[in-house]
Structure formats: structure tokens, C-alpha cells
Amino acid sequence: MGWAGIVVLGLAVGCAGWFFHPLRRASGPAGRGLALAAAAGLAGAALAKVGGRATGFFHDGELLEWPVCTAVAFVFVAVSVALRARR
């Protein structure tokens, strides 16, 4: 999966994670909350890809890359939406 796949995965995880998060209504206006979740998903997927390649955990295009990037992106989205709702 190249960087284009990481961008699509991060944005999809960010939007879906925001939509299904139980605290999304408490996180303020929909536009800013959704943008924050999409950015968090994108950042999480990108950091997982860079971290996995730097540590040698996986290489570009391996099967393990998809679930690791998805899981880290979901964690980033969940934390960002929850922290925004606490304000």
C-alpha cells in the first residue's frame, strides 16, 4: 500500500470513527469535529506506516500493514473525539 492508500485509509477511518463514536454529539459542531477526526485518522495511519517501516515490523505492501495502520488510526480518532468532548 502506497501513500495514496494511507491517505484513503486514514480519511475513511477518521470519518467512520467519528460517525460511530458515542461522544460525537458532545464534541461540538459537526464540521470541526469531523475535520479533527479525519486529520487524526490520517495522522495515525501515517505514523503507523512510518513507525512500522522504521522498526522493520513490516515493509511496504505486506499484509500486516493494513490492520496495524487501521488499528492505530482508530485509536487516534477515538482519543481525539473523546478529548474534544471533554471540553
* Domain limits, the chain: 3-85
Q: Are 6 and 48 in contact (CB under 8 A)?
A: no
CB 74 within 8 A of CB 16: no
pTM of this structure: 0.85
Q: What is the pLDDT along the chain (87 residues), one digit of tens a residue?
A: 788 999 999 999 999 988 887 776 665 666 677 888 899 999 999 999 999 999 999 888 888 999 999 999 999 998 988 888 776
**CB-based contact 40:69 (threshold 8 Å):** no
Q: Which of 63, 64, 59, 80 is nearest to 14 (CA)?
A: 80
